Structure 1
Amino acid sequence: MARVPVTRSISIDTDLIEESFTRSGGAGGQHVNTTDSAVLLRYDVARSDLPERVKLRLAELAGSRMTRDGVLTLRSEGSRSQHMNRAEVRERLLALVREATVVQAKRRATKPTRASQVRRVDAKKGRSAVKSGRKKPGFD
Structure 2
Amino acid sequence: MVELSKNVAIADHEIELTAIRAQGAGGQHVNKTSTAIHLRFDIRASSLPEYYKERLLALNHHLVTAEGVVIIKAQEYRSQELNREAALARLVALIQQAMVIEKPRRATKPSRGAKLRRLEGKVRKGVTKALRGKVHP
Greater displacement, 58-67 / 36-45: 58-67
3-state DSSP of counterpart to 1:59: helix
Aligned residue pairs, count: 137
Kindly provide the CA deviation profile for residues 71-125 of structure 1, in whole angstroms up to 9, marking residues without a partner as x: 1101111111111111111101111111222222222222222233334444555
State the Cα distance separating 1:49 from its structure 2 match: 2.8
Q: 1:117 to 1:37 in 2, by over 3 A?
A: farther
The alignment's C-alpha RMSD in Å is: 2.6
Q: 1:86 to 1:135 in 2, by over 3 A?
A: farther
- Asked if residue 115 in structure 1 is aligned to residue 113 in structure 2, the reply is yes
Q: 1:57 to 1:112 in 2, by over 3 A?
A: farther
2:134 pairs, out of 125, 133, 137, with 137
CA distance in 1, matches of 2:134, 2:125: 18
Partner of 1:10: 8
- Asked if residue 50 in structure 1 is aligned to residue 22 in structure 2, the reply is no
Paired amino acid for 2:36: A
State the Cα distance separating 1:27 from its structure 2 match: 0.9
Instruction: Spell out the pairing of 1:10-89 with structure 2 (5 A cutoff).
Output: 10-61=8-59, 63-89=61-87
CA distance in 1, matches of 2:135, 2:53: 66
- TM-score, normalised by the number of residues in structure 2: 0.80
Q: What residue ranges of structure 2 are gaps of 5+ in the alignment?
A: none
Paired amino acid for 2:24: G
State the Cα distance separating 1:47 from its structure 2 match: 1.3
State the Cα distance separating 1:42 from its structure 2 match: 0.5
Q: Is the 8 A contact 1:62 1:72 kept in 2?
A: no
Larger Rg over CA atoms: 2
Greater displacement, 113-122 / 26-35: 113-122
CA distance in 1, matches of 2:19, 2:131: 64
| Identical counterparts, % of pairs | 36
3-state DSSP of counterpart to 1:95: helix
3-state DSSP of counterpart to 2:134: coil
Partner of 1:96: 94
Q: What residue ranges of structure 1 are gaps of 5+ in the alignment?
A: none
